[in-house]
Structure 1
Amino acid sequence: MKLDRKHLLTGLIVLVAAALVLFKYRDYVLNPWTRDGQVRADVIQITPRVTGPIVELPIKDNQFVRAGDLLFRIDPRTFEAEQDRARAQLDETGDTVRALEKQVEAATAAVEVARGNIVRAESQIAGYDATIEQRKAEFDRQEELLPQKATSQRSLEQAKAAYLVALQERRTAEAQLLQVKANLLESQATLAEAEAQLGEIGDANPQVRSSLA
């Protein structure tokens, strides 16, 4: 009987010692320490792309995680509202960009019209130059014929009047040419301003990039 008690007591002591060793080992693994060493833990900062209150935290302290594991869930209402605001801003920016594109198209058309007007005005002046040359020749001829009694004073005056009219028409055409050239410069300035406001086309546009940021 004494032997059984002795064996039982020995087994109990061994069991308690094993439990203490296991406990200390587990404590050392989870909380390592040393008298003359330093233990450093790697800390990885996790920063979400959106902010907001955390509504779910499925992991525990010191839990092993793998890539793709859910660490926490943020209240979606926060960034959904921000997403709606950004989408509305993007739509507004799209409307602005389309309006600027229309302005560029209109300014480009105005430049082409002004260039066409210049071509027509220059052609008109060239026509007046030919007319002036003809009427000047007729006027000179009438002046030579009048002393010879080969023409009348009336014919001379008519030739002179026609020549003066041609000169006046050319001066008017020159003024019109200056005006259409000024219109061209104005249209080109408007086009340059519209293109500067529009910027690049598509996602490269600074206004679009700002809305997508």
Structure 2
Amino acid sequence: MIQVDVPNPLIEPDLHHLVITFQKYHCNHRCRTYDSTDKQYSKGFPQPLSERTYCSSNNLRYVYCRTKQEDQIIIPYHPETLLIWRGHINFQYITTNGFVKYITKYVTKSEPSELFDISEEDSYKKHITARRLGTMELIILLLQYPLMRCSILVLYLPSVPSEFRYRFVKPIYLLTEIGDDNNDNKLPYWDDAIDKYFDCSDHPNFHLITYPNYFHDYTIRFK
């Protein structure tokens, strides 16, 4: 359960210390000026008092149960995780609109860039020297935790009729070799996925295979 209250120091002294130390909101130099109109900083603190946790229809965030004035500046946390992590965390219930906004923001966010003048001839070393490390990756490397990366191949399979499909023209050096030959193998366009599916082998294994399964189960290689 996500909480935003300041625990009782007599009942939960350790949790109380962690909440006061790591979960209190502090407005730093990046925070916008205090607005005397709504009495809130840029991040919405101090949060309003509430007797229950609920999702407001006109808000991207949940309104959390805050019954004491000191709870109004507490960042949402998960007690068990906070006791293990012993550092700042931010746990929140999410809404559909809030999730879409968050993902869109970071998917479209460009990577920071700078100009470097690196006198290194080896292209690999040059890339390593100039590459910008994110905070999370840097922490993982410093702590010598294993860092695993994986990528998932996404293959687009067109499904519209031939006259409506996009065609990609072959490069000029290949077009000059085509000449006046009207053979299907000499078309000026690259074959798309549908063309390759219909040109598959006559082997019995391919007689009943479907279009998506053909590309899921096999990789086309050219000699």
Length-normalised TM-score, structure 1: 0.19
Bigger fraction of residues in helix: 1
Q: Larger relative contact order (C-alpha < 8 A, sep ≥ 6)?
A: 1
Bigger-Rg structure (1/2)? 1
